[in-house]
């Protein structure tokens, strides 16, 4: 038996759920297919849980535009739907005088992206704000914050379902075909089904290229190569003496290890970048050794043995080692020629922050 629906969203991570909500709010009957047994078990739950401001991305890029717009939309959504979050702010620190030109360049880049609230801080101001921090100067990003990512996904799912969307877990897409202006999808799992839909949103994250390759009617030339970058996180034993997130300026050959906080106040450091060929989330305790020297540039009091393996996440990358960082790829019918199909490739950071803006962009690409 074939079930006919308006739209199918493949992947119930934060972006897929945001897209399903946007479609449902427009009155489109939507089914969300998730291969795992619950929502958001991959990239959406294995990240820093930071609401980014949009400082670093090239002006005019999708990452810049959707992060800046998404930041505002996400704070509004969290307030309206009681999603736990905190606008704690972030310090981008220079730990040597020669880095201060880079801070000025970052402030200029941020302004080009529409971020106008960065505040320069002197060493004396930092000593008052974060006494344990060692830095010659910094930029304060007051619109950077932290969020309960699972709470966000539950809120997105709840609103999507309240407007008629349905979630099917343990439901991997086996294959699909673009046919007669729509799609026929074969879904596996314990309860296999056959779906017909006018719209398909491929938001499968780490598996997006595999999903795209399974769709007959999509030219294989439009399926890019995807690389996996594992990011390892290490938790601090005990509480950190910081109330802001702390991000060093990247240095050539340096890790630039970030200090982030979760909603419970637990500090963690990471992620690093480790190129891998498979989805393996094992954290090697030995990789923490390289973190200590980097962290001590801005927090000299970090004690030996204080970093404990926490978790790892894997990012779907469109550019490999040494290549310029790639932008989000929102592949619409105008690009691949298949009506009703949107492929979302390389949706990594700042995908969490940008999720609502991404969903809106997808709908605009489909003229919805």
Q: How many CB atoms lie within 10 A of CB 318?
A: 19
Does 299 lie in the same domain as 251?
A: yes
Residue 190 lies inside a defined structural domain of this protein: yes
Distance in angstroms (rounded) separating the CA atoms of residues 227 and 316: 6
Q: What is the mean pLDDT of residues 24-45?
A: 98
**pLDDT score recorded for residue 256:** 77
Residue 292: CATH number of its domain: 3.30.9.10
Number of domains in the chain: 2
Residue 9 lies inside a defined structural domain of this protein: yes
Q: Which domain holds residue 233?
A: 90-142+227-317
Phi, psi of 245 (to 5 degrees): -70, 150
Does 179 lie in the same domain as 211?
A: yes
**pLDDT score recorded for residue 251:** 66
**pLDDT score recorded for residue 45:** 96
* Mean predicted lDDT score pLDDT of the chain: 96
Does 237 lie in the same domain as 96?
A: yes
The predicted-structure confidence for 159-196, as pLDDT tens digits, reads as follows 999 999 999 999 999 999 999 889 999 999 998 999 99
The predicted-structure confidence for 275-309, as pLDDT tens digits, reads as follows 999 999 999 999 999 999 999 999 999 999 999 99
**pLDDT score recorded for residue 7:** 98
Does 330 lie in the same domain as 261?
A: no
The predicted-structure confidence for 303-348, as pLDDT tens digits, reads as follows 999 999 999 999 999 999 989 999 999 999 999 999 999 999 999 9
Q: What is the mean pLDDT of residues 33-57?
A: 97
Residue 63 lies inside a defined structural domain of this protein: no
Does 313 lie in the same domain as 187?
A: no
Does 196 lie in the same domain as 159?
A: yes
**pLDDT score recorded for residue 252:** 59
pLDDT of 254 strictly over 60: no
The predicted-structure confidence for 209-252, as pLDDT tens digits, reads as follows 999 999 999 999 999 999 999 999 999 999 999 999 999 987 65
Residue 193: CATH number of its domain: 3.50.50.60
Does 310 lie in the same domain as 188?
A: no
Question: If pLDDT is split at 50, 70 and 90, which confidence band does 253 have?
Answer: low
Does 108 lie in the same domain as 252?
A: yes
**pLDDT score recorded for residue 181:** 87
**pLDDT score recorded for residue 255:** 58
Instruction: Provide CB contacts within 8 A for 292, sequence distance 6+.
Output: 302, 304, 307
Does 232 lie in the same domain as 130?
A: yes
């Amino acid at each position: 038996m074939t079930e006919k629906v308006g739209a199918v969203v493949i992947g119930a991570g934060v972006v897929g759920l945001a897209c399903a909500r946007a479609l449902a709010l427009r009155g489109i009957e939507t089914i969300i297919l998730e291969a795992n047994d619950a929502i958001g078990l991959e990239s959406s739950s294995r990240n820093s849980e930071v609401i980014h401001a949009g400082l670093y991305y090239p002006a005019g890029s999708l990452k810049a535009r959707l992060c800046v717009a998404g930041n505002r939309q996400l704070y509004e959504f969290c307030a309206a739907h009681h999603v736990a979050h905190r606008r704690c702010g972030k310090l981008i620190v220079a730990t040597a005088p020669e880095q201060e030109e880079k801070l000025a360049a970052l402030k200029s880049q941020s302004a080009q992206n529409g971020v106008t609230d960065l505040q320069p801080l002197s060493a004396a101001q930092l000593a008052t704000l974060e006494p344990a921090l060692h830095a010659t100067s910094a930029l304060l990003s007051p619109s950077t914050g932290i969020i309960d990512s699972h709470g966000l996904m539950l809120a997105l799912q709840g609103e999507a379902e309240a407007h008629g969307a349905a979630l099917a877990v343990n439901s991997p897409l086996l294959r699909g075909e673009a046919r007669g202006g729509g799609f026929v999808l074969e879904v596996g799992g314990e309860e296999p089904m056959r779906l017909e839909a006018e719209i398909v949103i491929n938001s499968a994250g780490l598996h997006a290229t595999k999903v795209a390759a399974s769709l007959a009617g999509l030219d294989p030339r439009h399926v890019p190569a995807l690389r996996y970058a594992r990011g390892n996180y290490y938790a601090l034993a005990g509480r950190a003496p910081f109330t802001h997130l702390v991000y060093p300026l990247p240095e050539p050959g340096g890790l630039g290890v970030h200090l982030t906080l979760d909603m419970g106040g637990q500090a963690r450091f990471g992620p690093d970048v480790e190129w891998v060929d498979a989805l393996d989330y094992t954290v090697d305790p030995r990789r923490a050794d390289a973190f200590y020297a980097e962290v001590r540039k801005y927090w000299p009091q970090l004690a030996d043995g204080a970093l404990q393996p926490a978790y790892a996440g894997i990012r779907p990358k469109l550019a490999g080692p040494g290549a310029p960082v790639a932008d989000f790829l929102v592949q619409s019918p105008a690009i691949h020629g298949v009506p009703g199909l949107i492929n979302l490739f390389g949706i990594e950071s700042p995908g969490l922050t940008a999720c609502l803006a991404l969903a809106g962009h997808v709908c605009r690409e489909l003229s919805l």
